[in-house]
Structure 1
């Protein structure tokens, strides 16, 4: 594997650890706020501020404002999809626990990813649904079941 591939794997592994850590932290916020939707809004607000500061520090804001006019309508829905995840994790982590939550998250991601790859959704390169990819999703599904035993 190339160094770029290793860096990408490392970055996404750190992102995965952040997601696992985010769920119980946001759940605690939801408990204090008394409302998981409000906690999700606060979480997104804090994340927005952090990313906005980084964008300003990098000098990316003026170009982004200009480029926004050419963005396809569906490209604006990513934040809404992220909001669904944050709300769902706040609402369910105390019932499921972090391991089962993450297993279900990954199972859902892989199932959707198989379909998105197969149809080449959103301009991605089409990739066939092979038996090895199905097995990978199946193993995660078995792990999800085992996490509840």
Structure 2
């Protein structure tokens, strides 16, 4: 089962540049990256709604979200920032450089979340091997940028 989760993560990562290409094309077609992101989120919302209806999800569980901390709701804004940024950056930097930097940023934040156990993530201390991994990713970004 763990292999399935690992493969799902890999495929999800592979879809991010494809989504960026689609969203970038939408942004160029309508002339506004923010509007393109809005369309992307709208289509995604419709897709999730259809999925929920197909599975006959209990939508009344949404009421439980009213009791969570206010800052958890910022996840939607973070998603909007991410998608809009990728729409703007991919045509300017290229998919490889954009996603190299995105992955480097994700790893930096992930190491901090792991080390401090923030947001309910299991604690995994920073080690020199993790730092080396981030350094190698960063070196990859430099190589991609240069060549």
TM-score (norm 2): 0.93
- The answer to whether residue 43 in structure 2 is matched with residue 14 in structure 1 is no
- The answer to whether residue 102 in structure 2 is matched with residue 105 in structure 1 is yes
Partner residue of 2:57 out of 55, 60, 67: 60
- The answer to whether residue 42 in structure 2 is matched with residue 45 in structure 1 is yes
* Residue 93 of structure 2: aligned partner: 96
List aligned pairs for 1:18-33, cutoff 5 A. Answer: 18-33=15-30
| RMSD (Å) for aligned C-alpha atoms | 1.3
- The answer to whether residue 32 in structure 2 is matched with residue 35 in structure 1 is yes
CA deviation profile, 1:7-51 (whole Å, cap 9, x unmatched): 111001110111010111111100011111000110111011101
Structure 2 residues without counterparts, runs of 5 or longer: none
Return 50-59 or 35-44, whichever deviates more.
50-59
CA deviation profile, 1:77-107 (whole Å, cap 9, x unmatched): 2221111111011101111111111101100
Structure 1 residues without counterparts, runs of 5 or longer: none
> For the residues of structure 2 that align with 1:64 and 1:29, how far apart are their CA atoms?
34
* Residue 72 of structure 1: aligned partner: 69
* Residue 131 of structure 2: aligned partner: 134
> For the residues of structure 2 that align with 1:55 and 1:39, how far apart are their CA atoms?
24
> For the residues of structure 2 that align with 1:64 and 1:18, how far apart are their CA atoms?
29
CA deviation profile, 1:99-121 (whole Å, cap 9, x unmatched): 11110110000001111111111
Task: Report SS of the residue matched to 2:129.
Answer: helix
TM-score (norm 1): 0.92
CA deviation profile, 1:39-84 (whole Å, cap 9, x unmatched): 0110111011101111121122434324323333232222211111
Q: What number of residue pairs does the alignment pair up?
A: 146
